[in-house]
Structure 1
Amino acid sequence: MSEFDHSVRGVDVDPDTRCAHYHTDRDVVAFKFACCETYWPCFRCHEEIADHDAVPWPRARFDEPTVLCGVCRTELTVPAYREADYRCPSCNVAFNPGCAAHADLYFETD
């Protein structure tokens, strides 16, 4: 798989990973869930399409890529995503800071 072959499942996903639920200019990030090892634009897409309950990315695997920039397709680890201050460290596109409100749905917490 090349660095640009990351598929993203969801509802009406555009080429930059925006979906039917979140589609502002900053909604260009996708999250990998541990339950299916698949990238999704948001937890609502997972709820709507997946045939199983969502499982957040486990803390023990925070050193593995689990966040995808929808613009340049760079994969980030959880710490790299959190340290990036809502911007892709590769292409500098802005990410939606509102995703922080749902972080516990994407990443395991203490």
Structure 2
Amino acid sequence: MRTRVHGTTVRGVNVGPETRCAHYAGPTDVIALRFGCCGDFFPCAACHDAVADHGAEPWPRDRFDDPAVLCGGCGARLSVHAYLDADFACPECATAFNPGCAAHYDRYFEGVAPSEE
């Protein structure tokens, strides 16, 4: 399933206009992440697993300066470095991001350990 979010295609299950999905639909679940295996944006790893025809691979460390995180609030495309440095809010529009995502960083970003925020 494909949904346009601020002009960007986001794949997943029941993706809404701010990137919330069937798996994560809380008020701060407003990002989509690119996967290294296909370069496509998904709201979460479960969405990737549900709709992709291949295994998930995290965004590669050597591409952390490339846009890999989409803000569902404003459509800003953030590098991994910008996202990790943003303190759980979009640096462009200040939309709050879910701090619980830190527990899954290893699924999304190569070589970044999960943390408890």
TM-score range, shorter chain: over 0.9
Structure showing greater relative contact order (alpha-carbon pairs closer than 8 Å, 6 or more residues apart): 1
TM-score (norm 1): 0.95
What secondary structure is seen at the aligned counterpart in 1 of 2:73?
Answer: coil
Task: Read off the aligned partner of 1:60 and give its amino acid letter.
Answer: D
Deviation at 1:81, TM superposition (A): 0.3
- Runs (4+) off by over 4 Å: none
Does 1:60 pair with 2:80? no
Unaligned stretches of 5+ residues in structure 1: none
User: CA RMSD, aligned part only?
Assistant: 0.9
In the alignment, what sits opposite 1:84? 86
Q: Number of aligned pairs? A: 107
Q: Which structure 2 residue ranges, 5 or more long, are not aligned? A: 1-5, 113-117
- Aligned partner of 1:23 in structure 2 is 25
**CA apart distance, 1:71:** 1.2
Taking every aligned residue pair, what percent have the same amino acid on both sides? 57
Instruction: Name the amino acid aligned to 2:10.
Output: V
Which has more strand, going by share of residues? 2
